[in-house]
Homo-oligomer: A and B are copies of this chain.
Protein backbone atom coordinates (compact mmCIF):
# COMPACT_ATOMS: atom_id res chain seq x y z
CA UNK A 1 0.00 0.00 0.00
CA UNK A 2 1.54 3.23 -1.28
CA UNK A 3 0.60 5.33 1.74
CA UNK A 4 2.25 2.87 4.15
CA UNK A 5 5.41 2.56 2.07
CA UNK A 6 5.65 6.35 2.07
CA UNK A 7 5.02 6.45 5.83
CA UNK A 8 8.01 4.17 6.38
CA UNK A 9 10.29 6.10 4.00
CA UNK A 10 9.33 9.36 5.71
CA UNK A 11 10.76 7.90 8.93
CA UNK A 12 14.04 6.78 7.30
CA UNK A 13 17.05 9.06 7.17
CA UNK A 14 19.11 8.53 5.07
CA UNK A 15 16.70 6.97 2.60
CA UNK A 16 17.63 3.53 1.27
CA UNK A 17 17.06 2.59 -2.37
CA UNK A 18 14.32 0.25 -1.19
CA UNK A 19 13.04 -1.59 1.85
CA UNK A 20 13.24 -5.37 1.50
CA UNK A 21 11.04 -7.71 3.55
CA UNK A 22 11.59 -11.46 3.32
CA UNK A 23 9.53 -14.28 4.78
CA UNK A 24 11.05 -17.57 5.84
CA UNK A 25 8.98 -20.63 6.76
CA UNK A 26 5.93 -20.35 9.03
CA UNK A 27 6.00 -19.10 11.82
CA UNK A 28 8.99 -16.99 10.72
CA UNK A 29 6.99 -14.65 8.52
CA UNK A 30 7.53 -10.90 8.55
CA UNK A 31 4.17 -9.44 9.52
CA UNK A 32 5.26 -6.14 7.97
CA UNK A 33 5.08 -7.94 4.62
CA UNK A 34 1.33 -8.04 5.23
CA UNK A 35 1.32 -4.40 6.32
CA UNK A 36 2.56 -3.36 2.89
CA UNK A 37 0.86 -6.07 0.87
CA UNK A 38 -2.74 -6.12 2.02
CA UNK A 39 -3.57 -9.69 1.18
CA UNK A 40 -6.32 -10.72 3.59
CA UNK A 41 -5.19 -14.34 3.98
CA UNK A 42 -2.50 -16.77 2.86
CA UNK A 43 0.83 -17.92 4.22
CA UNK A 44 3.37 -16.50 1.74
CA UNK A 45 6.29 -18.60 2.97
CA UNK A 46 9.50 -17.62 1.20
CA UNK A 47 7.87 -14.51 -0.30
CA UNK A 48 9.77 -11.25 -0.62
CA UNK A 49 8.44 -7.68 -0.87
CA UNK A 50 10.52 -4.79 -2.20
CA UNK A 51 9.12 -1.35 -1.32
CA UNK A 52 10.38 1.58 -3.36
CA UNK A 53 10.64 5.24 -2.29
CA UNK A 54 7.89 6.22 -4.77
CA UNK A 55 5.46 3.93 -2.94
CA UNK A 56 5.52 1.10 -5.46
CA UNK A 57 5.73 -2.45 -4.15
CA UNK A 58 7.08 -5.57 -5.86
CA UNK A 59 5.92 -8.86 -4.35
CA UNK A 60 7.36 -12.28 -5.10
CA UNK A 61 4.70 -14.94 -4.56
CA UNK A 62 4.92 -18.70 -4.88
CA UNK A 63 2.55 -20.37 -7.37
CA UNK A 64 0.74 -21.95 -4.39
CA UNK A 65 -0.91 -18.63 -3.53
CA UNK A 66 -0.70 -16.83 -6.86
CA UNK A 67 -4.45 -16.34 -7.28
CA UNK A 68 -4.85 -14.89 -3.79
CA UNK A 69 -1.91 -12.58 -4.47
CA UNK A 70 -3.21 -11.41 -7.85
CA UNK A 71 -6.65 -10.77 -6.44
CA UNK A 72 -5.22 -8.60 -3.65
CA UNK A 73 -3.02 -6.73 -6.14
CA UNK A 74 -6.06 -5.99 -8.33
CA UNK A 75 -7.26 -3.62 -5.61
CA UNK A 76 -3.95 -1.78 -5.40
CA UNK A 77 -2.46 -0.24 -8.55
CA UNK A 78 0.87 0.24 -6.77
CA UNK A 79 1.53 -3.45 -6.18
CA UNK A 80 3.12 -5.70 -8.76
CA UNK A 81 3.03 -9.45 -8.13
CA UNK A 82 5.66 -11.73 -9.66
CA UNK A 83 5.02 -15.46 -9.42
CA UNK A 84 8.23 -17.39 -8.84
CA UNK A 85 9.08 -20.88 -7.71
CA UNK A 86 11.19 -21.19 -4.59
CA UNK A 87 14.34 -21.97 -6.57
CA UNK A 88 13.79 -18.86 -8.70
CA UNK A 89 13.50 -16.51 -5.72
CA UNK A 90 17.18 -15.56 -5.52
CA UNK A 91 17.33 -14.64 -9.21
CA UNK A 92 14.15 -12.61 -8.89
CA UNK A 93 15.55 -10.73 -5.88
CA UNK A 94 18.72 -10.01 -7.86
CA UNK A 95 16.66 -8.53 -10.67
CA UNK A 96 14.81 -6.23 -8.30
CA UNK A 97 17.88 -4.88 -6.48
CA UNK A 98 20.88 -3.01 -7.90
CA UNK A 99 24.24 -4.62 -7.02
CA UNK A 100 25.68 -1.43 -5.49
CA UNK A 101 22.52 -0.14 -3.84
CA UNK A 102 21.63 0.53 -0.23
CA UNK A 103 18.72 -1.56 1.00
CA UNK A 104 16.99 -1.52 4.34
CA UNK A 105 15.82 -4.69 6.06
CA UNK A 106 13.48 -5.36 8.97
CA UNK A 107 15.90 -6.84 11.51
CA UNK A 108 13.17 -7.56 14.04
CA UNK A 109 11.30 -9.97 11.74
CA UNK A 110 13.93 -11.20 9.29
CA UNK A 111 15.66 -14.48 10.08
CA UNK A 112 19.41 -14.32 10.38
CA UNK A 113 19.48 -17.13 7.80
CA UNK A 114 17.79 -14.87 5.21
CA UNK A 115 20.27 -12.10 6.04
CA UNK A 116 23.25 -14.38 5.43
CA UNK A 117 21.66 -15.51 2.16
CA UNK A 118 21.10 -11.92 0.99
CA UNK A 119 24.64 -10.91 1.93
CA UNK A 120 26.02 -13.77 -0.13
CA UNK A 121 23.67 -13.10 -3.04
CA UNK A 122 24.47 -9.37 -3.27
CA UNK A 123 27.91 -8.86 -1.71
CA UNK A 124 28.21 -5.23 -2.88
CA UNK A 125 24.93 -4.10 -1.38
CA UNK A 126 24.93 -1.97 1.75
CA UNK A 127 22.30 -3.33 4.14
CA UNK A 128 20.71 -1.07 6.73
CA UNK A 129 18.01 -1.55 9.33
CA UNK A 130 14.52 -0.12 8.87
CA UNK A 131 12.96 -1.93 11.80
CA UNK A 132 12.46 1.13 13.98
CA UNK A 133 10.81 3.05 11.15
CA UNK A 134 8.61 0.06 10.35
CA UNK A 135 7.64 -0.39 13.97
CA UNK A 136 6.78 3.31 14.29
CA UNK A 137 4.80 3.37 11.05
CA UNK A 138 2.80 0.36 12.20
CA UNK A 139 2.21 1.79 15.68
CA UNK A 140 -0.18 4.56 14.64
CA UNK A 141 -3.16 3.09 12.87
CA UNK A 142 -5.15 4.46 9.96
CA UNK A 143 -8.95 4.64 10.22
CA UNK A 144 -9.21 1.50 8.08
CA UNK A 145 -6.90 -0.40 10.42
CA UNK A 146 -8.84 0.83 13.45
CA UNK A 147 -12.03 -0.56 11.92
CA UNK A 148 -10.38 -3.97 11.49
CA UNK A 149 -9.06 -3.83 15.06
CA UNK A 150 -12.53 -2.84 16.25
CA UNK A 151 -14.03 -5.83 14.48
CA UNK A 152 -11.42 -8.17 16.01
CA UNK A 153 -12.10 -6.60 19.42
CA UNK A 154 -15.85 -6.96 18.97
CA UNK A 155 -15.43 -10.68 18.25
CA UNK A 156 -13.44 -11.02 21.47
CA UNK A 157 -16.01 -8.97 23.36
CA UNK A 158 -18.89 -11.12 22.17
CA UNK A 159 -17.13 -14.18 23.51
CA UNK A 160 -16.28 -12.29 26.71
CA UNK A 161 -20.01 -11.73 27.24
CA UNK A 162 -20.71 -15.41 26.58
CA UNK A 163 -18.17 -16.90 29.02
CA UNK A 164 -20.37 -16.69 32.14
CA UNK A 165 -22.95 -18.88 30.38
CA UNK A 166 -20.29 -21.52 29.70
CA UNK A 167 -19.09 -21.93 33.28
CA UNK A 168 -20.17 -25.09 35.03
CA UNK A 169 -18.62 -27.41 37.58
CA UNK A 170 -16.27 -29.85 35.88
CA UNK A 171 -15.63 -28.02 32.60
CA UNK A 172 -11.87 -28.08 32.09
CA UNK A 173 -9.63 -25.17 31.23
CA UNK A 174 -8.91 -26.77 27.84
CA UNK A 175 -12.60 -27.35 27.10
CA UNK A 176 -13.49 -23.77 27.95
CA UNK A 177 -10.61 -22.51 25.78
CA UNK A 178 -11.78 -24.68 22.85
CA UNK A 179 -15.34 -23.41 23.26
CA UNK A 180 -14.16 -19.78 23.34
CA UNK A 181 -12.03 -20.23 20.25
CA UNK A 182 -14.89 -21.93 18.41
CA UNK A 183 -17.17 -19.03 19.22
CA UNK A 184 -14.60 -16.54 17.96
CA UNK A 185 -14.57 -18.48 14.70
CA UNK A 186 -18.36 -18.47 14.50
CA UNK A 187 -18.37 -14.74 15.13
CA UNK A 188 -16.11 -14.22 12.12
CA UNK A 189 -12.54 -14.61 13.36
CA UNK A 190 -10.06 -16.20 10.98
CA UNK A 191 -8.35 -17.66 14.05
CA UNK A 192 -7.13 -16.88 17.52
CA UNK A 193 -4.47 -14.18 17.76
CA UNK A 194 -2.53 -16.14 20.42
CA UNK A 195 -2.88 -19.26 22.55
CA UNK A 196 -5.95 -18.78 24.71
CA UNK A 197 -5.26 -18.56 28.43
CA UNK A 198 -7.88 -20.07 30.72
CA UNK A 199 -6.73 -20.35 34.33
CA UNK A 200 -8.84 -21.69 37.18
CA UNK A 201 -8.13 -21.01 40.85
CA UNK A 202 -4.41 -20.88 41.77
CA UNK A 203 -3.43 -21.13 38.08
CA UNK A 204 -4.63 -17.55 37.65
CA UNK A 205 -1.58 -16.41 39.61
CA UNK A 206 0.68 -17.11 36.60
CA UNK A 207 0.07 -14.38 33.98
CA UNK A 208 1.06 -16.53 30.96
CA UNK A 209 -0.41 -19.80 32.24
CA UNK A 210 -1.47 -22.37 29.61
CA UNK A 211 -4.73 -24.28 30.06
CA UNK A 212 -4.70 -27.94 31.12
CA UNK A 213 -7.24 -30.63 32.05
CA UNK A 214 -8.05 -28.86 35.33
CA UNK A 215 -11.81 -29.03 36.06
CA UNK A 216 -13.64 -25.96 37.34
CA UNK A 217 -14.78 -26.23 40.93
CA UNK A 218 -16.89 -24.04 43.18
CA UNK A 219 -14.93 -21.17 44.70
CA UNK A 220 -12.46 -20.88 41.80
CA UNK A 221 -11.43 -17.57 40.37
CA UNK A 222 -11.20 -17.60 36.55
CA UNK A 223 -8.89 -15.67 34.24
CA UNK A 224 -9.60 -15.80 30.48
CA UNK A 225 -7.09 -14.00 28.22
CA UNK A 226 -7.81 -14.43 24.52
CA UNK A 227 -8.10 -12.69 21.20
CA UNK A 228 -9.24 -12.99 17.61
CA UNK A 229 -7.73 -12.34 14.22
CA UNK A 230 -9.93 -10.51 11.78
CA UNK A 231 -8.37 -9.98 8.36
CA UNK A 232 -4.92 -10.28 10.00
CA UNK A 233 -5.66 -7.73 12.76
CA UNK A 234 -5.54 -8.92 16.36
CA UNK A 235 -7.52 -8.31 19.50
CA UNK A 236 -6.43 -9.15 23.03
CA UNK A 237 -8.91 -9.15 25.89
CA UNK A 238 -8.85 -10.50 29.43
CA UNK A 239 -11.89 -11.05 31.56
CA UNK A 240 -11.83 -12.42 35.09
CA UNK A 241 -14.80 -14.08 36.77
CA UNK A 242 -15.58 -15.82 40.00
CA UNK A 243 -17.30 -19.18 40.24
CA UNK A 244 -19.39 -19.04 43.43
CA UNK A 245 -19.50 -19.25 46.36
CA UNK A 246 -17.96 -15.87 46.95
CA UNK A 247 -14.37 -15.49 48.06
CA UNK A 248 -14.35 -12.13 49.80
CA UNK A 249 -10.68 -11.51 49.04
CA UNK A 250 -11.02 -12.19 45.31
CA UNK A 251 -13.99 -9.83 45.09
CA UNK A 252 -11.86 -7.10 46.61
CA UNK A 253 -8.96 -7.99 44.33
CA UNK A 254 -11.26 -7.62 41.31
CA UNK A 255 -12.49 -4.23 42.47
CA UNK A 256 -8.90 -3.10 43.00
CA UNK A 257 -7.80 -4.22 39.53
CA UNK A 258 -10.85 -2.48 38.09
CA UNK A 259 -9.90 0.73 39.88
CA UNK A 260 -6.30 0.34 38.66
CA UNK A 261 -7.51 -0.03 35.08
CA UNK A 262 -9.74 3.02 35.43
CA UNK A 263 -6.77 5.02 36.74
CA UNK A 264 -4.60 3.88 33.84
CA UNK A 265 -7.30 4.72 31.31
CA UNK A 266 -7.73 8.16 32.84
CA UNK A 267 -4.02 8.80 32.18
CA UNK A 268 -4.27 7.97 28.46
CA UNK A 269 -3.93 10.90 26.07
CA UNK A 270 -1.52 11.91 23.30
CA UNK A 271 1.89 12.99 24.52
CA UNK A 272 1.79 11.11 27.82
CA UNK A 273 4.83 8.85 28.35
CA UNK A 274 3.88 5.16 28.51
CA UNK A 275 5.24 4.86 32.04
CA UNK A 276 2.61 7.28 33.32
CA UNK A 277 -0.19 4.97 32.24
CA UNK A 278 1.62 2.05 33.85
CA UNK A 279 2.29 3.95 37.04
CA UNK A 280 -1.31 5.14 37.34
CA UNK A 281 -2.41 1.50 37.59
CA UNK A 282 0.56 0.54 39.76
CA UNK A 283 -0.17 3.25 42.30
CA UNK A 284 -3.68 1.96 42.86
CA UNK A 285 -2.42 -1.58 43.37
CA UNK A 286 0.53 -0.57 45.52
CA UNK A 287 -1.77 1.53 47.70
CA UNK A 288 -3.89 -1.57 48.36
CA UNK A 289 -3.02 -4.56 50.52
CA UNK A 290 -1.75 -6.29 47.36
CA UNK A 291 1.30 -4.04 47.01
CA UNK A 292 3.88 -5.65 44.74
CA UNK A 293 1.41 -8.11 43.18
CA UNK A 294 1.47 -6.52 39.72
CA UNK A 295 4.55 -8.05 38.08
CA UNK A 296 4.27 -7.03 34.43
CA UNK A 297 3.97 -3.97 32.22
CA UNK A 298 0.40 -2.69 32.02
CA UNK A 299 0.07 -2.87 28.24
CA UNK A 300 1.39 -3.09 24.72
CA UNK A 301 0.52 -2.03 21.22
CA UNK A 302 -1.69 -4.32 19.12
CA UNK A 303 -2.05 -4.57 15.38
CA UNK A 304 -0.99 -7.20 12.88
CA UNK A 305 0.29 -9.21 15.82
CA UNK A 306 -0.85 -9.17 19.38
CA UNK A 307 2.46 -7.80 20.65
CA UNK A 308 2.85 -5.21 17.94
CA UNK A 309 6.29 -3.83 18.76
CA UNK A 310 5.79 -1.60 21.77
CA UNK A 311 5.02 -2.15 25.42
CA UNK A 312 4.93 0.12 28.42
CA UNK A 313 6.16 -0.45 31.92
CA UNK A 314 7.62 1.69 34.71
CA UNK A 315 10.56 3.00 32.63
CA UNK A 316 9.02 3.67 29.21
CA UNK A 317 9.39 7.31 28.16
CA UNK A 318 7.91 6.96 24.64
CA UNK A 319 4.76 9.02 24.47
CA UNK A 320 1.34 7.88 23.33
CA UNK A 321 0.32 9.16 19.92
CA UNK A 322 -3.02 9.64 18.24
CA UNK A 323 -3.96 6.44 16.44
CA UNK A 324 -1.97 4.08 18.64
CA UNK A 325 -3.91 0.95 19.53
CA UNK A 326 -2.88 -0.44 22.90
CA UNK A 327 -3.99 -2.74 25.65
CA UNK A 328 -4.54 -1.63 29.24
CA UNK A 329 -4.25 -4.70 31.44
CA UNK A 330 -3.40 -4.44 35.11
CA UNK A 331 -3.61 -7.56 37.26
CA UNK A 332 -3.08 -8.84 40.77
CA UNK A 333 -1.57 -12.29 41.23
CA UNK A 334 -1.74 -14.26 44.48
CA UNK A 335 0.38 -17.41 44.33
CA UNK A 336 -1.49 -20.47 45.58
CA UNK A 337 -4.81 -18.65 45.50
CA UNK A 338 -5.67 -17.03 42.15
CA UNK A 339 -5.47 -13.95 40.03
CA UNK A 340 -7.47 -11.19 38.42
CA UNK A 341 -6.54 -9.37 35.23
CA UNK A 342 -8.73 -7.00 33.25
CA UNK A 343 -7.57 -6.13 29.76
CA UNK A 344 -9.11 -3.90 27.15
CA UNK A 345 -8.03 -2.68 23.75
CA UNK A 346 -8.21 1.06 23.18
CA UNK A 347 -7.15 3.52 20.55
CA UNK A 348 -5.60 6.86 21.47
CA UNK A 349 -7.68 9.82 20.23
CA UNK A 350 -6.88 13.55 20.23
CA UNK A 351 -8.90 13.91 23.46
CA UNK A 352 -7.97 10.71 25.24
CA UNK A 353 -9.00 7.28 24.09
CA UNK A 354 -11.79 5.16 22.75
CA UNK A 355 -12.60 1.57 23.70
CA UNK A 356 -12.31 -1.12 21.03
CA UNK A 357 -13.40 -3.92 23.39
CA UNK A 358 -16.88 -3.65 24.88
CA UNK A 359 -17.56 -6.60 27.22
CA UNK A 360 -18.42 -5.75 30.85
CA UNK A 361 -15.39 -5.45 33.11
CA UNK A 362 -17.02 -5.35 36.53
CA UNK A 363 -16.87 -8.14 39.11
CA UNK A 364 -19.06 -11.00 37.95
CA UNK A 365 -19.86 -13.97 40.12
CA UNK A 366 -21.40 -17.02 38.47
CA UNK A 367 -23.19 -19.34 40.91
CA UNK A 368 -21.75 -22.88 40.91
Q: Write the residues of chain A forming the contact surface with B, with a CB cutoff of 8 angstroms.
A: 24-29, 31, 40-43, 45, 62-68, 87, 105, 107-116, 129, 131, 174-175, 177-179, 181-182, 185-186, 188-192, 194-195, 205-212, 295-296, 305-307, 309, 315
Contacts and interface: CB of A to CB of B under 8 A. Distances in A.
A41 B208 CA distance: 10
A43 B195 contact: yes
A63 to B, nearest CB: 6
Most buried by B among A109, A115, A175, A178: A178
Copy number in this complex? 2
B195 A65 contact: no
A129 B111 CA distance: 13
Residue of A27, A191, A205, A295 with most chain B CB atoms under a 10 A cut-off? A27
Given A64-B296, A113-B108, A115-B115, A27 B181 contact: no
12 contacts: A25-B108, A40-B210, A41-B210, A45-B307, A62-B208, A63-B296, A68-B210, A109-B113, A113-B131, A177-B185, A181-B185, A181-B191
A13 B66 CA distance: 41
A2 to B, nearest CB: 24
Chain A contact residues, majority secondary structure:
loop
A114 B115 CA distance: 12
Nearest to A296: B64
A33 to B, nearest CB: 12
Contact of A28 (B28, B64, B114, B205): B28
A223 to B, nearest CB: 13
Contact of A43 (B40, B111, B205, B208): B208
B185 A190 contact: no
Given A191-B195, A295-B63, A68 B209 contact: yes
Given A111-B112, A191-B195, 10 more contacts: A25-B307, A25-B309, A27-B29, A43-B195, A64-B295, A65-B209, A107-B112, A107-B116, A111-B111, A116-B129
A68 B197 CA distance: 13
A188 to B, nearest CB: 8
A-B pairs, top 3 by smallest CB distance, nearest first, are A178-B185, A41-B210, A182-B182
